[in-house]
Amino acid sequence: MKKLLTIFCLLVFAVSFGQNKFVKDSATAFQKQINSEYKDEKKSPLLAKDLKKFKSLHFYQINENFFVLAKFVRTPDEKPFEMPTTTERKPLYVKYGEAHFSIGGKSFKLNVYQSQDLKKIEKYKNSLFLPFTDLTSGVESYGGGRYIDVEIPEGDVLPIDFNRAYNPYCAYNHKYSCPIPPSENDLAIEIKAGVKKFK
């Protein structure tokens, strides 16, 4: 059952998809929702000792500069592969496309993946997985990288709000099995947005 929970953990905090402009209230709602989930002992990944004193996760200040409209390039000929995790579990993913964007005048690319398990479920068939690391990883943010939930775009524009970047459950509890962001998704920039390292 715990393994099944980790399959779905990347989708727990999605507030809304397809937002083509920055809305601060949406990022604020994300923070409130994730805090609410973590306070709920039935849903929280926190250890019992941490849950007792938990009040809020630590977030970077919401920053419009970390909301981007990426050019989405579909990669239809990719083959499914086993994505390494923090345990021996190796879930099947496929590289679904590439997101090309710029921040601060610098160009970046992130690969976007689709879970071969989740796509079989009607509710999640359009969900995509965007794991990444950046220059804050292991310093201000979790060393194992962070995740963002996105959805298959209708066209060639993929909104990415780094203010909704969250930690894998392994950042709080090592009993979980969490995908490790592929090295090609290591960004040479500080993404000072989203959830910070857990203290």
Q: Which amino acid does the sequence have at 149?
A: D
pLDDT digits (tens, 9 = 90+) for 83-110: 999 999 999 999 999 999 999 999 999 9
Residue 2's pLDDT is: 46
Beta carbons within 10 angstroms of residue 61's beta carbon:
7
Residue 4's pLDDT is: 41
Start-to-end Cα distance in the chain: 27
Is-contact 168 11, C-beta < 8 A?
no
Measure CA 38 to chain center.
Answer: 16
Q: Is pLDDT at 6 greater than 50 in this prediction?
A: no
Residue 21's pLDDT is: 85
Strand 92-103 with 67-74, pairing: antiparallel
The domain ranges of the chain are 2-185
What is the average pLDDT value for the chain, to the nearest integer?
A: 92
Q: Which amino acid does the sequence have at 165?
A: A
β-partners of residue 111 are: 98
Helix (H) or strand (E) segment spanning residue 15: none
CA–CA distance, 196 with 57 (Å, rounded to integer): 8
Residue 77's pLDDT is: 96
pLDDT digits (tens, 9 = 90+) for 28-79: 999 999 999 999 999 999 999 999 999 999 999 999 999 999 999 999 999 9
Residue 12's pLDDT is: 44
